[in-house]
Amino acid sequence: MAELVSLAEAVHRHVRDGDTVAIEGFTHLIPTAAGAALIRSGRTDLHLVKMTPDVVCDQLIGAGCARALTFGWGGNAGVGSLHRFRDAVENGWPRPLALDEHSHAGLVNRYVAGASGLPFAVMRGYVGTDLPAHNPTISKVTCPFTGEELTAVAALNPDVAFIHAQRADRAGNVQLWGIVGAQKEVVLAARRSIVTVEEVVDTLDRRPGDVILPSWVLSAVAVVPGGARPSYAAGYYERDNDGYRAWGETSKTRESFTAWLDGVRSS
């Protein structure tokens, strides 16, 4: 059952140095505040996982919290590069970053396998590309009925998953809607999961297209209004496109980034 605690407390209880930490939210409900809480916690040597690393992983990478990144597409959508990600990969600053690189289809199927209690998933994917040569979590499997060769991807079961949702009830059941991404899969694949929410309500009135995550599959729920900014939370606030552009500037140099980081650490 999920406990309702502060975000700092949730991080303190459920994240350890060296953990594989998945952060999901596919272009929506990105738990950016959780990333800042991870930075403040001092947790390090993390293996981050996110289909679209976005600003949240760029910050964690720049802060030196990550030893590795599993990802699908590492750009600042509509703006350009994730500069801290690039600086880590191209120059090893502030530390080298090992890459476990997938397509979105491949990475989401790793979550699907993890959520399903299977060691791998079958898909058509990566065929003819250079990705498998650089990634031991992509392999082949032969159909026992047709003899056809297909792609296998290894299950991913993060130690901890972070997601952001619109709301929770007092028992810690969580509801999200709009673009729901892979949040259900990552939570069900993870050993522990922490959800930040916009608000706690008495009753989760159902919405078309919503996803309910029951309290008994979650570890902690923390109320963090605006916790997805500069991403958005459908029904609460819009995507802050200027915020993404601003991050493009802030992150551009080590100096401007470090100034930002000092601000986070002292807040």
Residue 214 makes contact with a copy of itself by CB under 8 A: no
Q: How far is the CB of 178 from a copy of itself (least distance, A)?
A: 12
Identify which of 39, 54, 97 has the alpha carbon closest to the alpha carbon of residue 231: 54
Helices 54-62, 254-266: crossing angle, 10 deg rounding: 90
Residue 206 makes contact with a copy of itself by CB under 8 A: yes
Rounded Cα distance, 259 and 255, in Å: 6
Using the minimum distance from each CB to another protein, give the nearer residue, 79 or 264: 79
- Binding residue (CB under 8 A) for another protein from 11, 26, 32, 160: 26
Q: Work out what residue 199 binds among another protein, a copy of itself, none; the CB cut-off runs from 5 to 8 Å by kind.
A: none
Identify which of 217, 223, 227 has the alpha carbon closest to the alpha carbon of residue 23: 227
Using the minimum distance from each CB to a copy of itself, give the nearer residue, 149 or 238: 149
Q: Work out what residue 27 binds among another protein, a copy of itself, none; the CB cut-off runs from 5 to 8 Å by kind.
A: another protein
Q: How far is the CB of 138 from a copy of itself (least distance, A)?
A: 10
- Binding residue (CB under 8 A) for another protein from 13, 67, 104, 191: 104
Q: Work out what residue 185 binds among a copy of itself, another protein, none; the CB cut-off runs from 5 to 8 Å by kind.
A: another protein
Residue 207 makes contact with a copy of itself by CB under 8 A: yes
Instruction: Classify the C-alpha dihedral 99-102-106-108 as positive or negative.
Output: positive
Task: Give the tokens for residue 73.
Answer: 């597409």
Task: Give the tokens for residue 216.
Answer: 């008994």
Rounded Cα distance, 109 and 91, in Å: 31
